[in-house]
Amino acid sequence: MSTASPITSPSPSRRPSTRPINPGDRLFRRVLMGLSGVVVAVLALIAIYLAKLSWPAIHEFGLGFFWTTDWDPVKEHFGAGAFIFGTLVSSFFALALAVPLSIAVGLFLTELAPPRAAAVVGFMVEMLAAIPSVVYGLWGIFFLAPLLRLYVQPFLGRHFGWLFLFQGPPYGIGMLAAGLILAIMVTPTITAICREVFRAVPNTQREAALGLGATKWEMIRLAVVKSSWSGVFGAGILGLGRALGETMAVTMLIGNRNEISTSLFSPGQTMASVIANEYAEAGSNIHVAALAYVGLALFVVSFAVNHLARRIVKRLEMGGTR
Amino acid sequence: MTPATNAAKPPIPEPILSAKDVNAYFNAFHAVRGVSLDVEPNSVTALIGPSGCGKSTFLRTLNRLHEEIPGARFEGEVTLEGENIYGRGMDPVQVRRKIGMVFQKPNPFPSLSIYENVVVGLTLAGVKDRRLLDETAERALKHSALWDEVKDKLRAPGTSLSGGQQQRLCIARALAVKPPVILMDEPTSALDPISTARIEELLGELKKEVTVVIVTHNMQQAARCSDRTAFFFMGELVEYDRSTRLFTNPQDKRTEQYITGRFG
């Protein structure tokens, strides 16, 4: 009796696809469901644990934590303002370089390159995403930073030193180096999305422009770029999500000084890099809590930014088949 | 003046557009085979034939759009008002400003307003004079019989209009630059019967100012609106004659079979 045969089970036709009657299928389904649940649980546990760990700091410093810049483990007073500043400046500087570059590469790949060249260049750009972060850091320290210190920064200081961005001694390592390495690291992400967005523009639009006597450049501007702005924006936000949380290469290159400086030549600190630098030697509970508080903020912001980017890109994909 | 091609009956003394021995290829595929055809000024010329007969490809050689497709190749000569548009030093961009095109699917630019869509050909050519742009927009929209429907919402996006309106917007966009010739590639195939009828009506008006070459898969349409009809089959121009004659008294067996619906 208790071993009800599949045929007599109450309502076999109600959800036939999600409620398998074969015992093997049922087991299979439960295993997959359990494993998927693990992923969700891990995400929730990270958030809960971060919140719990940072509770003393939240309680002690409140929201003021995010705009005070005083980070003093000895006096046990912590404010993350300088790291937030460093994160924003390095990320937006990186985007300012990477977005135009990615648009250019995306347009080249979809509109201009012969198919074989597009395949090779597209593959190379994707490979940039496969290089481990620490390798970028090494390259940055031993190649990029000396290059900046010896040539680029003296040049910028000499000719554009009147601008607040390019003042101070050339260290090589600093905000400029971190921003450049971030730009290289987010370019593959942004390029890949830009490429998809441009590819989604129907050919009839290109022919409409050409048929009106547009040159290739005018055709690209009128038919491709103008209708792609929201997608490119989404790509930029997705790149921002990557740049905000990038840790290893930035930690190796940013100089790790807990200060706000308006010059890109100066060393700085980001939310990610301060955690990587200090977690090992954080002695007091409140120091650990403050680091966790920074981590929690980074977690929430990255989550929100990624979610936003996905929504923009998804909406575009659905509207793209006009 | 121009030697009469054996296809043009009766011969057209002063064609505005003249194709001589046009061959078009996609890689190894020979899509258009030795087509010669003269187009009479201020007329509507219809190109008909079964799918894949080369009529659209031939049309796209007339404004050098064919060559934009990867692997496409062209041989022959096309003259517009006596000038070879494939001649040495001819810029395809300049050619396309003189020979406008309306496509199968209405394709206004989604990021531009109705007004901007109409005058985009002028703005591309560098015209900035506001008055001239306004006048052109009104003239072209009136000419394409769309003015009354859109005059109060010129700032709305071009894609907010119905399919038939969008196609008339595309006709206005082509008319705005005052080309002597407009090519239409099955302009009503994506439209409902009422919108189709409006565009067919429009063709009769348009030919007072421009010359129209229209590809259609609809024989009734060709018979109703065109002065001359060319029948294409397997990449060749089989028969070219006054529409009244071609549809009532075709000279070629294949034309007769096609227009009586025995294939295609």
Q: What is the pLDDT of residues B153-211, one digit of tens each?
A: 999 999 999 999 999 999 999 999 999 999 999 999 988 999 899 899 999 989 999 99
Give the pLDDT confidence score for residue A236 in this predicted structure.
94
- Based on the fold, state whether residues A49 and A72 are members of the same structural domain: no
**Are both A164 and A36 inside the same structural domain?**
no
Could you tell me which chain A residue has the CA closest to the CA of B121?
A212
Q: What angle do CA B54, B57, B63 make, to 5 degrees?
A: 145
CATH of residue A82's domain is 1.10.3720.10
- The answer to whether B191 and B102 have CB atoms below 8 angstroms apart is no
Q: Are residues A110 and A215 in the same domain?
A: yes
Q: What is the pLDDT along chain A (322 residues), one digit of tens a residue?
A: 344 444 444 544 455 556 667 888 999 999 999 999 999 999 999 999 999 999 999 999 999 999 999 899 889 899 999 999 999 999 999 999 999 999 999 999 999 999 899 999 999 999 998 999 999 999 999 999 999 999 999 999 999 989 889 988 888 899 999 999 999 999 999 999 999 999 999 999 999 999 999 999 999 999 999 989 888 999 999 999 999 999 999 999 999 888 888 899 999 999 999 999 999 988 888 999 999 999 999 999 999 998 988 888 777 666 544 3
Give the pLDDT score at A7: 47
Chain A residue with CA closest to B118: the answer is: A212
**A97 Cα to chain B: minimum distance (Å):** 26
Do A180 and A99 lie in one domain? The reply is yes
Residues A153 and A48 in one domain: no
Residue B34: count of CB within 10 angstroms of its CB: 14
Same domain, A45 and A77: no
For B:165-204, CB contacts with A below 8 A are: 170, 173-174, 177
CATH architecture of B17-259: 3-Layer(aba) Sandwich (3.40)
**In this predicted structure, what is the pLDDT of residue A190?**
95
Predicted confidence (pLDDT) at residue B9 exceeds the cutoff of 70: no
Q: Which residue has the higher pLDDT, B1 or B12?
A: B12
Structure confidence at residue A8 (pLDDT): 46
Q: Which residue of A has its CA nearest to B110?
A: A227
CB pairs under 8 A between A and B: 65
Q: Are residues A263 and A139 in the same domain?
A: yes
Specify the 3-state DSSP secondary structure of B41: coil
- Distance of alpha carbon B142 from alpha carbon B147, whole angstroms: 5
Is residue A7 assigned to a domain?
Answer: no
Interface contact flag, A322 B125, Cβ < 8 Å: no
Sole residue written with tokens 């210190």: A149
Domain coverage including residue A34: 16-53
Instruction: Name the B residues in 11-30 with CB < 8 Å from any A CB.
Output: none
Tell which of A197, A205, A212, A220 to mutate to test the B interface (max B CBs under 10 Å): A212
A259 and A300 inside one domain: yes
Instruction: Compare CB distances from B107 to A205, A213, A214 and report the shortest one's residue.
Output: A205
What is the structure's pLDDT at B66? 94
A300, part of any domain:
yes
Q: Which residues in chain A have their CB less than 8 angstroms from residue B126's CB? A: none
Determine contact: A159 vs chain B, CB below 8 A.
no
For chain B, give the number of residues.
Answer: 264
Shared domain check, A120 and A36: no
Taking CA atoms, what residue in B is nearest to A207?
B65
CB contact (8 A) between residue B103 and residue A222? no
Interchain contact, A211 vs B65, CB within 8 Å: yes
Omega of the bond leading into B15 within 30 degrees of 0 (cis): no
Query: Is position A1 within any domain?
Result: no
Terminal-residue alpha carbon distance, chain A: 58
Q: What is the pLDDT of residue A317?
A: 64
Residues 36-95 of A with CB under 8 A from B: none
> So what's the pLDDT on residue A3?
44
Of A208, A218, A229, the CB nearest to B103: A208
CB atoms closer than 10 angstroms to residue B142: 14
Query: A288: Cβ–Cβ under 8 A, 6 or more apart, which residues?
Result: A53, A279, A282
> Are A209 and A308 members of one domain?
yes
Residue A209: both structure tokens together: 């422009």
Based on the structure, what is the number of domains in chain A? Answer: 2
The 3-class secondary structure across B199-259, one letter per residue, is HHHHHHHHCCCCEEEEECCCHHHHHHHCCEEEEEECCEEEEEEEHHHHHHCCCCHHHHHHH
**Contact with chain A for residue B57, Cβ under 8 A:** no
Joined together, the tokens standing for residue A102 give: 């990615």
Alpha-carbon distance of B198 to A300, in angstroms, equals 57
